[in-house]
Amino acid sequence: MLVLITYDVNTETAAGRKRLRKVAKQCTNYGRRVQNSVFECILDNAQCITLKAILAEIIDESVDSLRFYYLGNKYQTKVEHMGVDRGIAADDTLIL
């Protein structure tokens, strides 16, 4: 399923900037960045639960926030894009 993950991490302190880097790194491990604090991730249920747990451990819930939008398996009809695209689609094959 496609999960859209957005976050807002308070970066007023060094600890906040460190949390921001950690959140971005974990999201990069599971999907692709489509905007600064927005990631598209193709996940199964187990991966989704794992990623949510990892991110919950990183953020400070008193000043940071995470949002998960579950677009499902038939997300192609739910996503519309205009303008410059960043990289390959989340569900495309990447050969190294």
Q: What pLDDT, in 10s, does the model give residues 23-40?
A: 999 999 999 999 899 999
Residue 20 has pLDDT above 90, yes or no: yes
What are the distances in angstroms from CA 60 to CA 12, 36, 69? 13, 19, 20
In the block, residue with structure tokens 């599971």: 30
CB 49 within 8 A of CB 41: no
Per-residue tokens: 23 = 């959140």
Global pTM?
0.78
